A and B are shown apart, each in its own frame.
Chain A
Amino acid sequence: MELILIPIITGIIAALSGKWSKWVAIVGSLAGLVITAIWLSKFNADGSFNFVFDRVWFSKAIHFKTGADGISMVLLLLTNILSPMIVLAAANKHNTDKAALFGLIVIMQGALNGVFLSMDGIMFYIFWELALIPVYFICALWGENNRFVTTLKFFIYTFVGSLAMLASLIYLYSLMPEGSFDYQALVNVALNETQAKWIGAGFLLAFAVKIPLLPLHSWQPDTYTEAPTAGTMLLSAIMLKMGLYGLIRWFFPLVPEAIGFYTPIIIAAGVLGVLYGALIAIRQDDMKRLVAFSSLSHVGLIAAGIATLSTTGIQGGILQMFNHGINVFGLFLAIDIIQSRAGTRNLQHLGGIAKQAPYLAVGFMLVMLATAAVPFTNGFPGELLLLKAVFTKNAIWGVFAGITIILCAVYMFRMYQFSMFGTAKNGIYLFPDLNMREKLLFGVLVIIIISAGVFPQYLLDLCGPSVDKTIKIIENTVGVIS
């Protein structure tokens, strides 16, 4: 409850407080982090929902019901760690007069917390939509030249998906004798396979657009490229995870009757996305676009891993959702710094930055290695579990997905080399190294990358019991999943 309201309220205040905006926003978003930390200290990881808050909302059927299990906790942690960092990253000299920007980031934080806390179908839908709005404004107001076309495309894309989800929710509701949108009630509805397929289709459309899964991804590279960096960070680091979270929390438990139909589709779309995104990323020169396609590749693997419905796959997926969020934030941070100083983010025009900016070189290098899943970084354990899960489910898909460890090294190291190494291509330009604010951001990133890389078990223990419980919900309907 407080995790939703405090950021939204401070966000609105921040948007209205002119030059103090970024300070209000930082306080508000840090408050979210503090609450998350307190919750973590009290959290009981036994698979149940903690901190349940339940109040009748619009009608008896629709409650304002929130609660956090282990899966939510990991994503709350991600959201509330990254939001202050995104505010801080945006607090550069280009954004001094954009009071609303900081406010919107914090509103977004509240809405995302709402998504991960919702225990009521309609409430989930509302926050799902609400989370779309701040980021829409951020992109539409401060994006690059093509922002209107791009943002509109993004909006329509996700909106169509959301409407399909709403339709499914209502259909599911109508099947109950005593109508309710309560999570547990929705889970309990017994469906026949046809019903499950139709209801599943609505949810899957919404989630697949957000993740995004091939071939519903075409909003993503454009939006990432055109959006201002704060928007890109919100979208790629946190918002994508809504779709993946939706798969685990809503899609599979609600329509287990249809998994025989949907899991092969999701695994196939995920693994093809892994290869498709990676192959395209190899030849991109626009750094943002490159990372957009690499992101497509990474989330494809997460989706495929989750769809194996194995403990390894789902836990690996959750772990990787967290770590991908951290790493992709780091990549966009580095790109933003490069672009704002060198005036371009085109690899063909960059080069030789490492010599002038050694701190950036180290920070960017570590984030790059983490993205390429080098051991001792946070990218490794999740990718290991996901690949193992996909490989165990189907060796052929596993080998295809595994090619990502080669291709990812190709495009990531290429990006790093072309931008940081070599010599400057358009003469010599002055490239100041990281300032204190940026050093702080990279410092936090480095700590998270290494500690989550060496001790992944902390997050796994957090979500483990809830994952087991989720699998049990599905198995109660369809029997043991091999």
Chain B
Amino acid sequence: MQNLLLIVLVPLLGFFISGVFGKKLPETITGWISSLAVLVSFVLSFMLFTKLSADPTTVKQFLFTFLSVGDLNIAFELQADRLTVIMMMVITGIGFLIHVYSIAYMHGDEGFYKFFAYLNLFIFNMLILVMGANFLMLFFGWEGVGLCSYLLIGFWYSNLDYGKAARKAFVMNRIGDLGLLLGLFLIIYQFGSLDYDIVFAKAAAAQFKPAVLTAICILLFVGAMGKSAQIPLYTWLPDAMAGPTPVSALIHAATMVTAGIYLVVRCHVMFDFSIPARELILYIGLATSILAALIGLKQNDIKKVLAYSTVSQLGLMFIALGVGAYTAAMFHLLTHAFFKALLFLGSGSVIHAMGGEQDIRKMGGLKKAMPITYWTFLLGTLAICGFPLFSGFFSKDEILAEVFAHNPIVWFLAVGSALITCIYMLRVFVVTFLGGFRGTEDQKHHLHESPALITVPLLVLSVLAVFGGLLNIPALFGEGFSGKLTHWLEPVLGHAEHPHLAVGTQWMLLAVAVSTLVIAFIYVRMRYVKGGTVPEVDADQQGAGKLLANKFYVDEIYGTAITEPVNTTGEGLYKWVDRKIIDGLVNGTGKATGMFSNILGKMQTGNIENYLLYMVIGIIIIVGFNLFK
């Protein structure tokens, strides 16, 4: 039997080693111990993968009873099925690459050991999240990854703005967590348990009130909105770019932010029954996808563009979930993990070479100095744009095909979002790597390709980003090797009924996808390659551009509509209600009594301490005397 606990514990052990001894150990040793801890988990996950490919039965491991109160019984229990193991391999596999990358990227940082301790702790929590056998374990991991995300966003904590971004992320996530928690309470109320097995069995047998089920699904989705940065809880993710770049790649692109997708896929039995909840997911996903893509058009911080792109891509995955295309969502989750991690790590390599500069307007022409970063970034860009036969091409196409079958108008809008995605990604690529260098002389002097610890993970990820699409090729390209992922997930997701699109329609959809790409190529070529133009200074933005550059002023709106009122309420409650009214009343009563006691006081001498002292002594004597008489 596979020891699931070990997979979880090794990164936790790594956390302890780097956290406790890391300060005294040399950097490389700390870094490699942490990386190897994750590698061990990856190897174990892979062994589990081979086992599950022979026998898809869920592997379970009971640890101990966490809570048993009244009729509520919650265990610490791990499980792994075919869905889990995919997530585990993404978490530990990409996690390992990013650990290795960080050894070079974080070199010389004061908090080097802390960084690796936090990364390992993150891997531990993320594994708990996906490997838990009940909703509470999921919640443990859910909050745990939120905490690690907080710690890593605010990693350079001397900067108060970074700290603020970290707190914003944590608080916004907590808003989602409240939704998730209430969802859990409703699950207990409706199904009497939090165990996946029991809950899903009852749900599958339709033992529920439809309204309650819809409420549960919506509340779970609120949790997903927080973690996976969907409208209205998305604004923390772009700010989270304050964290070191490997963190952005691991947590804010490849793994943690996809937890919401995982949650919905895990609970697909319930979502299958709730059409209103799925419609909500569909439209939230669609709106997020378009809004974030539009904002991405006008951002000039390389990481911010990638962040909005992540929000937008997550929106696309939710669109898939909204139409019930769970496999398609998982497929895109995988390919996105590959190419977005690649793009983030590539941007990290660029930032590293530019001495910390993140503004693409001050870059340009990096192609020559950084060939590996250039080529891998290009592959990543082509993958996200859905260049034919690259990973993003297949996964995006699968989602779009499912959406088309569901609702052509939504499909049309989603294609629009994909078009914008191509434009802003190509724009970033061109402005960063082509043309002439626009940085300072000093930067130019220091420009260099990154060391092997950085470039090797880039190369591995670019292989995945290019070929990842092979995991689930549509049947259109031949029955023999198609639909591997669909087949793999069938024991978990059941045999989904696929929309039967005519072969001609399918080719038409592909043609549309390719033509959007062509449009984007032509536009970017005219605007940025031929024109050689650099994006405008923010202050020069006009009209719609200004609106986009300022991210639709959503942060400002939240500030005015929520943060400020809460603060004012807090202050008002304190100054007026607490101090003036409640305390005032009490003091008033006190004063009245005081006058009365003054009269009494004239008959007495001394102060209250003395009386109290007499009282204590008296009580002690009385107590003792009566007890032992």
Contact = CB atoms under 8 A, between A and B. Distances in A.
Contacts of A153: 586-587, 590
B588 to A, nearest CB: 12
A141 to B, nearest CB: 8
A392 B192 CA distance: 12
A457 B66 contact: yes
B69 A374 contact: no
B178 A279 contact: no
Choose among A215, A221, A222, A403 the residue with the greatest number of B CB atoms under 10 Å from its CB. A215
* Most chain A CB within a 10 A radius of its CB, from B68, B157, B609: B157
A310 B574 CA distance: 33
A385 B182 contact: no
B167 interface: yes
A181 to B, nearest CB: 14
Contact size class for B?
35 or more
A126 B623 contact: yes
Interface in B131-186: 136, 139-140, 143-144, 147, 150, 154, 157-160, 163-164, 167, 170-171, 174-175, 177-178, 181-182, 185
A156 interface: yes
Contacts of B627: 55, 57, 64
B612 A152 contact: no
A352 B590 CA distance: 42
A283 B158 contact: no
A282 interface: yes
A456 interface: yes
Contacts of B160: 417, 421-423
A392 B188 CA distance: 9
Interface string A318-362: 000000000000000000000000000000000010110000000
B567 A283 contact: yes
B180 to A, nearest CB: 10
Contact of B67 (A57, A376, A457): A457
Interface string B269-298: 000000000000000000000000000000
Contacts of B590: 152-153, 156
A400 B163 CA distance: 28
Given A388-B188, A417-B167, A279 B583 contact: no
B615 interface: yes
Contact of A392 (B144, B189, B616): B189
B178 A403 contact: yes
A417 B626 CA distance: 55
Interface in A137-161: 137, 140-141, 152-153, 155-157
Contact of B69 (A215, A311, A403): A311
A126 B623 CA distance: 9
A279 B570 CA distance: 5
Contacts of A414: 167
Interface stretch (A85-93, A240-248, A255-263, A404-412): A404-412
Nearest to A392: B189
A157 B182 contact: no
B608 interface: yes
B573 interface: yes
Contacts of B543: none
A378 B110 CA distance: 31
Interface string B492-516: 0000000000000000000000000
Contact of A311 (B70, B569, B593): B70
Interface in A108-129: 126, 129
Given A354-B157, A405-B177, A218 B578 contact: yes
A140 B612 CA distance: 11
Nearest to B616: A133
A316 interface: yes
A382 to B, nearest CB: 10
B583 A218 contact: yes
Interface string B194-232: 000000000000000000000000000000000000000
Nearest to B70: A311
Contacts of B573: 276, 279-280
A375 B121 CA distance: 13
Given A140-B609, A156-B593, A457 B570 contact: no
B526 interface: no
B43 interface: no
A369 to B, nearest CB: 7
Contacts of A28: none
B619 interface: yes
Contacts of A399: 182
B519 interface: no
A57 B629 CA distance: 9
Given A280-B578, A388-B185, A398-B182, A375 B158 contact: no
Contact of A460 (B69, B178, B566, B626): B69
Most A-side CB within 10 Å, residue of B64, B569, B616: B616
A402 interface: yes
Contacts, number: 154
Contacts of B182: 391, 398-399, 402
Contacts of A8: 620
A315 B159 CA distance: 43
B178 A421 contact: no
Nearest to B583: A218
B144 to A, nearest CB: 6
Nearest to A316: B69
B185 A409 contact: no
Contact of B570 (A283, A315, A387): A283
Given A218-B582, A310-B70, A388-B188, A405 B178 contact: yes
A195 interface: no
Nearest to B608: A152
A58 B626 contact: yes
A375 B143 CA distance: 7
B598 interface: no
B571 interface: yes
Contacts of B623: 126
Contact of B163 (A140, A215, A417): A417
A125 to B, nearest CB: 11
B72 interface: yes
A23 B619 CA distance: 26
B181 A283 contact: no
A376 B140 contact: yes
A156 B182 CA distance: 41
A423 B185 contact: no
A17 interface: no
B139, B566, B569, B578 pick with most chain A CB within 10 angstroms:
B578
Interface string B74-92: 0000000000000000000
A456 B578 CA distance: 36
Nearest to A455: B64
Contacts of B189: 392
B440 interface: no
B65 interface: yes
A384 to B, nearest CB: 8
Interface in A168-224: 215, 217-219, 221-222
Contacts of A96: none
A468 B192 CA distance: 20
A385 B177 CA distance: 16
A279 B147 contact: no
14 contacts: A57-B626, A137-B612, A152-B590, A156-B593, A218-B582, A221-B578, A222-B583, A279-B569, A281-B570, A381-B66, A406-B175, A421-B160, A421-B163, A460-B67
Closest 9 CB pairs of A and B: A311-B70, A421-B157, A283-B570, A375-B140, A218-B583, A279-B570, A282-B570, A422-B160, A280-B574
Given A385-B69, A391-B182, A402-B182, 4 more contacts: A218-B583, A369-B147, A399-B182, A406-B174
Interface of A: 8, 55, 57-58, 64, 126, 129-130, 133, 136-137, 140-141, 152-153, 155-157, 215, 217-219, 221-222, 276, 279-284, 310-312, 315-316, 352, 354-355, 369, 374-376, 381, 384-385, 387-388, 391-392, 398-399, 402-403, 405-406, 409-410, 413-414, 417, 420-423, 454-457, 460, 464
